[in-house]
Amino acid sequence: MKKFIKLIIYVKFPMLGRLYGAIFNKESFHTFSGWGMKTTGTFPPWANIIKDKKNVHQVFIKIDQHLRRKIKDKKFDATDFKNYTSLQQHYERLDYLKWRSYIVYIATLHAAVHTKSKNKNFVECGVGDGFTAFYTVHTLKEKKIKFTCYLYDAWGGMKKQNVDKKDSGSYVGKWKDLNFEMTKNNFKDFKNIRFIKGVLPQSLKKVSPKKISYLSIDLNSSTSTTEVLKYFYNKIEKNGIILLDDYGHANYIKTKKAVDIFFKNKKSIVFQIPTGQAIIIKR
């Protein structure tokens, strides 16, 4: 609340905000800090300082608050919750990831609105506990979009053949504690989600849609990322979205290079954003 009051003061009375920064030897105050980025003097869209006539940001806020309630009521669980002993720490973790989550929300919204299929197929490769997928499916639900969501993950440790040694070091076996049943339980209220367990890209042979509106990739591997792009790219509708999680992170330079090569002769532009994610609109 204290930070929010300071934010309002800075927006409504910018000179007062600058004076505060000068007195306390601060550029201003942090309007957002998390996921490797920090902003000062620029408020995030969910701050809701200016009235949102299209109700875009309020929907994101509603979804974010819904996730917090589910965590509080122990209806959404995650493997890394064991590292955080209090509810407040869970909330702080969500705040840390909030810009990333907002990008997921906006990318989902764009794909839902600007693709032509009546029943839209959304694909996520690299699901984990389901935080990203939560924002996606609840965005579609709030906007009353008919959809089927395909969630692909090994729900087990990374295999040696998929680990980029130059990028991610000793990642073999990482995420071995992911719990498939726990993730499924986080989405038990949805009947239109398909969970496909197995190592990518091999698991794509089990089941996959012929046409998709949205593809999210978070695989921490240049090899797997490239193979998934090859498999799905031609299935993506015009104006569909590809959201890459690892593109701009220092630990995944090899993934960035692989993605750049893949899109070198394609019309679509890879747009990197400060969170490290990248958005591609299919043309």
Predicted local confidence at residue 72, as pLDDT: 96
96 residue type, one letter: Y
> Which residues, in sequence order, are CB contacts of 131 under 8 Å at separation 6+?
67, 78, 97, 101
At residue 182's C-alpha, the angle toward residues 246 and 204, to 5°, is 50
φ, ψ of residue 26 to 5 degrees: the values are: -125, 145
Counting Cβ atoms within 10 Å, is residue 261 exposed (0-12), middle (13-18) or buried (19+)?
exposed
By residue count, the chain amounts to 283
Task: Name, in order, each residue with C-beta under 8 angstroms of 126's C-beta and a sequence gap of 6 or more.
Answer: 152, 153, 200, 216, 217, 218, 219, 220, 245
**Which residues of the chain carry a pLDDT beneath 50?**
22-23, 25, 27-28
> Which domains occur in the chain, in start order?
2-43 (no CATH), 50-281 (3.40.50.150)
Pairing label, strands 147-153, 278-281 = unpaired
Instruction: Give the model's pLDDT for residue 84.
Output: 83
Tens digit of pLDDT for each residue in 113-138? Answer: 999 999 999 999 999 999 999 999 99
Helix (H) or strand (E) holding 226: helix 222-232
